Amino acid sequence: MLKKKSNILLIYTGGTIGMIKDSDTGALRSFDFNNLLTRIPELKILDCDITTISFENPIDSSNMNPKYWVQIAEIIEENYINFDGFVVLHGSDTMSYTASALSFMLEHLSKPVILTGSQLPIGDLRTDAKENLITSIQIAALKQNNTSVIKEVGLYFEYKLYRGNRTTKINAEHFEAFESLNYPHLVESGVHLKVNKKQLLQANHSNSLIVRKNLCTDIVLIKLFPGITELVLKTILSVPDLKGVILETYGAGNCTTEQWFINLISNAIKKGIVIINVTQCSGGSVIMGQYETSTALKKAGVISGHDITTEAAIVKLMYLLGQNINPKEFKTIFETPLRGELTQN
């Protein structure tokens, strides 16, 4: 049977990868996407067909927000049937959030959506942009038995493809800017592309793509620190319309046992605010009840984020709060892996 060339849609949202230095100020700013392609003639010799689409006004990813996530998801939705894979060029600063968001928004995804970017602009002599872009396209184009090998949202950076919702940006300087400390990488790029098949999400091809666009942003992230005051916590928890809290705790999900703290948390839960426990550590998992300093949280009804990243927890909370889930089922659903974003312990 004749092997069909993969059809890849390259979506440019902004970020360093497509920036140039302003000659007057020296600051990096986005430039016209068409120039990006002229800077990488190698794209023309790849064994796939590439179509490009760009945000009208490309953004630095520090300006990323849920409206842009919907915009990216809609581009994928509108082009889903006509392409075998999607590569999203994105700034690295908030790439892990966008990768997590897309993973939840694109339900029953059975094609690759690969996010990538770079630490240095594409025009820079020492740029990491070319390798990141070219290999991302090759990974998105990978097929076996005429179906895509990757069927999930991935993030490719510096020779590794990670599950997008498992990543965190860990370095603002190194080319190796991302890590996925609680889940192995999916592909490693060396002389050959080494696919870690056992770690890939499998898709049920009989389900068609559903794009979930309703995200609730009435949430807050609270990072605990020794010395946090009752007034600060009380003020945050009484924000009008607050629906969810990501509580970044110490170690395996521990917090102070001071009574005022536990009372504020319990009362917020009684008021209907959902509280998710995630760890401040980059690796490892929340295990509520392992120490006395987390038992009260468990009793109060705090939800365990297990080994989820803060980025994925924030977006999962936005996504689930936007789905009108029965409050009685919310805990069970949050604690269940929906897109491979957490490991239950």
Catalytic residues: 16
Judged by CB under 6 A, the residue of 8, 15, 286, 307 near ligand ASP is: 15
Identify which of residues 115 and 245 has a Cβ nearer to ligand ASP in the complex: 115
Site string for ligand ASP, 116-135 (x = CB under 6 A): -x-x----------------
Closest separation in Å from C-beta 128 to ligand ASP = 10
Q: Does 13 bind ligand ASP (CB under 6 A)?
A: no
Q: Does 112 bind ligand ASP (CB under 6 A)?
A: no
Report whether 69 contacts 98 (CB < 8 A): yes
Q: Does 85 bind ligand ASP (CB under 6 A)?
A: no
Q: Does 244 bind ligand ASP (CB under 6 A)?
A: no
Closest separation in Å from C-beta 216 to ligand ASP = 24
Nearest alpha-carbon partner for 309 in 288, 330, 270, 339 = 339
Residue 7 burial by CB count (10 A; 0-12/13-18/19+): exposed, middle or buried?
middle
Residue nearest to ligand ASP (CB): 91
Sign of CA dihedral 16, 17, 18, 20: positive
As given in the structure block, the two tokens for residue 285 are 């998992």
Identify which of residues 59 and 142 has a Cβ nearer to ligand ASP in the complex: 59
Q: Which of residues 41-80 bind ligand ASP (CB under 6 A)?
A: 60-62
Report whether 343 contacts 337 (CB < 8 A): yes
DSSP state of 122: T
**CA trace torsion 114, 120, 122, 128 (10° rounding):** -60
Closest separation in Å from C-beta 35 to ligand ASP = 16
Closest separation in Å from C-beta 93 to ligand ASP = 3
CB atoms within 10 A of CB 208: 10
DSSP state of 308: -
Closest separation in Å from C-beta 92 to ligand ASP = 3
Identify which of residues 89 and 247 has a Cβ nearer to ligand ASP in the complex: 89
The runs of H, that is alpha helices, within 169-291 are: 230-237, 259-270
Q: Does 16 bind ligand ASP (CB under 6 A)?
A: yes
As given in the structure block, the two tokens for residue 250 are 């110490």
User: Under rule CB under 6 A, how many of the chain's residues touch ligand ASP?
Assistant: 11
Closest separation in Å from C-beta 175 to ligand ASP = 11
Residue 335's contacts (CB-CB under 8 Å, 6 or more residues apart) are: 303, 304, 306, 342, 344
**CA-derived radius of gyration, the chain:** 21
The one segment of 12-20, 98-106, 129-137, 203-211 that binds ligand ASP by CB under 6 A = 12-20
Nearest alpha-carbon partner for 130 in 144, 117, 112, 147 = 117
Question: Under the rule (CB under 6 A), what is the footprint of ligand ASP?
Answer: 14-16, 60-62, 91-93, 117, 119
